[in-house]
Amino acid sequence: MSRSMEKMRKQEKEADAKITDLQCRSMKANLIFTGLEGESRNEDTESKLKMFISRELGITTDVTVGNVPRFGRFVSGQFRPIVARFIFQRDLQLVKSQAYKLKGSQFGIREQFPTDVAERRRILYPVMRDARNDGSRVRLVRDRLYINGRYYDPDMSYDYEDDDVFCDARDTVIGVNDDDDDEATVSVGMDDEASKGPSPSED
């Protein structure tokens, strides 16, 4: 009976990992923008976003985006985040490269991940910043943090020099290929809980 239960738990874990992988892949071309005001039922979110990209990020070339809805629960007096799916990877990377210009402003840009992945990333951000400030090389691959090429285990006490905290960066990451690796990018500007949500749909 115990073997059967253990097998079932393993299968459930593998199924959850596959679902999370599919969700991450479906969101890979998405960026979430927070702090854009003037929400209304008839607003043109695509034009508003492109104006924001031009004015605040200084990007004058036209970027091509698909669906550009606001998402999350509407609260009077607040403005919901906008999520944009970028058609071309070069446009997405260009926008990300200019996000540093928003530091200290009301605006923010972040990548979109499933809720559970986004929460684990949020926990790792302070560790990542501390390691980077200490001169270490850091890399965040979805919700796995690597410091100087070695995997950081968030469930253990943190010490860069303690080998027990790390495992080799070549350890298998379920559902993550080399082309999924992304240099760690902390959201810039306003930190919005709603940006952790699943794939959005227009209300």
Closest CA to 196 of 107, 39, 81: 81
User: What's the confidence (pLDDT) of residue 141?
Assistant: 86
User: What's the confidence (pLDDT) of residue 1?
Assistant: 56
Q: Which of 13-17, 69-73, 86-90, 183-187 is predicted with the least confidence, judged by mean pLDDT?
A: 183-187
Q: What are the CA-CA distances from residue 44 to residues 40, 53, 63, 68, 79 (Å)?
A: 9, 14, 16, 9, 14
Domain residue ranges in the chain? 3-196
Q: Mean pLDDT, to the nearest integer, of 91-103?
A: 95
Q: For 44, which DSSP code?
A: -
Q: Which of 138-142, 161-165, 167-171 is predicted with the least confidence, judged by mean pLDDT?
A: 167-171
What are the pLDDT digits (tens) for 142-164?
888 999 999 998 876 555 444 44
Q: Mean pLDDT, to the nearest integer, of 68-89?
A: 90
User: What's the confidence (pLDDT) of residue 176?
Assistant: 32
Q: Give the separation between CA 10 and CA 199, rounded to whole angstroms.
A: 27
Predicted model pTM:
0.65
CB 124 within 8 A of CB 140: yes
User: What's the confidence (pLDDT) of residue 2?
Assistant: 79
Q: Name the helix (H) or strand (E) containing 140.
A: strand 138-141
**pLDDT confidence tier of residue 105, bands split at 50, 70 and 90:** very high
What are the pLDDT digits (tens) for 18-47?
887 787 887 889 999 999 998 888 899 999
Q: Mean pLDDT, to the nearest integer, of 65-83?
A: 89
User: What's the confidence (pLDDT) of residue 159?
Assistant: 52
- In CATH terms, 3-196 corresponds, of 3.30.2010.30, 3.30.420.40, 3.30.70.1820, 1.20.120.80, to 3.30.70.1820
